[in-house]
Amino acid sequence: MLRIATRKSLLALWQSEHAADLLRRHHPDLEVELVPLSTRGDEVLDRSLSEIGGKGVFLKELERAILDGEADIAVHSLKDVPAESPPEFELAAYLAGGDWGDWWITCDGRTPADMPPGSRIGTSSLRRQSQLLAQYPELDIVPVRGNVQTRLAKLDGGEVDALILAAAGLQRLEIQREHWLALQPPEFLPAPGQGVIVAQCRRGDERTRRLLQSLNCPHTTTRIRAERAVVHELGGDCRMPLAALAKIEGDQVRLHARLASPDGLEVIDSTSTGAATEAEELGRKAARFIIDSGGLRILSQL
């Protein structure tokens, strides 16, 4: 038996059931069940994540369930996982990554360049906000929280004129919208680890760790080592207006990282290439370049 702690949103349940299906496929005799839980991040929607403890609030109840013996693993969207994991846990498997991009969603097909000044753009991500305002400073950012369906309802109800959402979530839930646009590099970069599902277990639980290894994707792991090393070196978490995208090209990794001020007025980019075996060092070097280029000034504003 293996029990998976999961949030109750449709996307979280999809991701956890996906991990469960993979486990059953690799271990036909293994019984797997989901343990749906409510988290503070899901319950408190009238305040920003930074006010209630950052994206880590999505994890704490699931981690508590593992420590209390109610579950054996937890499944998360990696972009919601802070760079520093509590010492009691380890990220044991990175599943093959989905679409890492962001999608621009409207009801009428207008692009960011088509939006008149003062148009209301729904996002609670400082990363998305900073990159959008860097190019279109005349737009207004409206914080929106809640699950994918809740955010789309705000668009359809006229509370916002456009939304920026993770492509992977829409694809996994098979949500089709008539008007969408992929926000692409170099203008837009994703969050470190975006589109990746990760399985977490208690450190020292070797049986569970061995079972999870069958889910681990080496290609995705290399990408993640580079991207999350940037976050770790900057001492940040997923609330930081930081973007990073690592692409594997043969035995090389090409990493593009970006730190921007929330108002989009300051943008610092780092682009570098290195051996895949040294992906973490590549990420650390990118972070140090950002710091040396004025990144501490941006971080001090947060």
> Could you give the residue numbers annotated as active site?
80
- Cα angle 232, 234, 237 (rounded to 5 degrees) comes to 60
Cα 287 vs. chain centroid, distance in angstroms?
Answer: 18
Is the Cβ–Cβ distance between 286 and 270 less than 8 Å?
yes
Torsion 188-189-194-196 (CA) sign = positive
Rounded-to-integer distance, Cα 37 and Cα 9, Å: 10
- Cα–Cα dist 5/123, whole Å: 27
**Residues sharing a CB contact under 8 Å with residue 73, sequence separation 6 or more, in sequence order:** 2, 3, 4, 5, 66, 92, 199, 200, 201, 208, 212
Tokens of 237: 């978490």
| 76 burial level (CB within 10 Å; 0-12, 13-18, 19+) | buried
